[in-house]
Amino acid sequence: MGLFAKFKKAFAKKEENQEEVEIYEKGLEKTRKEFVNELSVLGHKYTKVSDEYFDELESILIMADIGVNTVMNFIDRLKARVKKENITDTKYLQEVIVDELFIIYVSGESLSDKININPNGPTVILMVGVNGVGKTTTIAKLAYKYKREGKSVMMIAGDTFRAGAVPQLKEWAEKTGSEFYGKEKSDPAGIIYDGLVKAKEDNIDIVLIDTAGRLQNKVNLMKELEKINKVIGTHVEGAPQETLLVIDASTGQNGILQAEAFKEITNITGIVLTKLDGTAKGGIVLAIKETVNIPVKFIGLGETMKDLRPFDIETYIYGLFKDMIDDGK
């Protein structure tokens, strides 16, 4: 049937992408164990669709951190489909649930999970996010990814006043073989300006810019980001090509609030979800799409450099519902 059958067919042929699939499977293990196990138990507890079934399903979805509003809309859509297709069997309804969760992400405005590469000069990627979410290590992992692809990378330290931020980024630049530009206790916009001059001189392919993670005073941060964006745009046409917001997936709904706050103060083009492997709240991917309508571009599925993966909705849904999909073969 529908998309569920397509998933089974697609992943039966995914030998060439086996490493990617396995990283997703392993990284989503905590969410899958709690979320899908609960769904399976629900399917055994109720063989027929009922109001009680929907009540328990609602609780399971909210516990997976899909978000209350998203869950309410989802349940309404599911009930409408049950009525329209006259679905009574809960085992069959599980397949419909997978379909509908996929549709949440792909429906509406088409969101690209690809990075916008600048064909005429450096691709500038501005990294934003509150302190402690893994922004600096995400920059290092992105540098590692692009270096492996044969691109030259520069890191610019725009978080100039937080103690230790500049030397920490410099250390990551050395570890990943990237160029570095930064000075402590200097004007961030000035540092970024000088760094971009050097990046253009050195024909750098990818420029990764760190920024301060203060959200307590949104007005100050907005002014700082406006100034930074102006400097970047003046120096590299059409830049920044991406402004990526880093969110710690384990913070759940707090991460959604951060996304909403940053969306108010600057043009976020994509989200990086870190530490998705360490939480059972992997449903946050769906909540982010539904709440802020910004694409997830990368997800962190482990501690190593290669565990930051480009986001792929099909692989994510498969990683989440693997046991159900495999059982349905």
17 pLDDT band (50/70/90 cuts)?
Answer: confident
User: Taking 60 as the threshold, does the pLDDT of residue 328 lie above it?
Assistant: no
Instruction: Report the alpha-carbon angle 186-118-140, nearest 5.
Output: 50
**Residue 164 CB burial class (10 angstroms; 0-12, 13-18, ≥19):** exposed
Q: Determine contact, residues 202/154, Cβ cutoff 8 Å.
A: yes
Please provide the DSSP assignment of 237-306 as one string. TT--SEEEEEEEGGGTHHHHHHHHHHHHHS---EEEEE-GGG-S-TTHHHHHHHHH---EEEEE-SSSGG
Other C-beta atoms lying within 10 Å of the C-beta of residue 107: 11
Q: Bridge-partner residues for 299, per DSSP? A: 273, 309
List all residues 6 or more positions away from 105 whose beta carbon is below 8 Å from its beta carbon. Answer: 285, 286, 289, 313
Instruction: Report the alpha-carbon angle 45-50-54, nearest 5.
Output: 80
pLDDT tens sequence across 119-159: 988 999 999 999 989 999 999 999 999 999 999 999 999 99
pLDDT tens sequence across 267-324: 999 999 999 999 888 888 888 888 898 999 999 998 899 999 999 888 888 888 877 7
9 pLDDT band (50/70/90 cuts)?
Answer: low
Q: What is the distance of C-alpha 285 from the center of its chain?
A: 7
State how far the Cα of 95 lies from the Cα of 328, in Å rounded to an integer.
9
Which pLDDT belongs to residue 111?
58
Which pLDDT belongs to residue 291?
87
- The CA distances from residue 299 to 24, 67, 89, 249, 312, in Å, are 9, 19, 35, 9, 9
Q: What is the largest CA-CA distance in the chain?
A: 67
Q: Bridge-partner residues for 153, per DSSP? A: 206
Q: Determine contact, residues 242/268, Cβ cutoff 8 Å.
A: no
List all residues 6 or more positions away from 235 whose beta carbon is below 8 Å from its beta carbon. Answer: 193, 196, 197, 200
Q: What is the distance of C-alpha 317 from the center of its chain?
A: 14
Which pLDDT belongs to residue 280?
85
User: Can you tell me which residue has the tokens 């709240």?
Assistant: 281
pLDDT tens sequence across 71-113: 999 999 999 999 999 999 998 898 899 888 888 877 755 556 7
State how far the Cα of 231 lies from the Cα of 240, in Å rounded to an integer.
10
CA torsion, ordered 138, 142, 143, 146, to nearest 10 deg: 170
pTM, two decimal places: 0.91
What single letter denotes the amino acid at residue 202? D
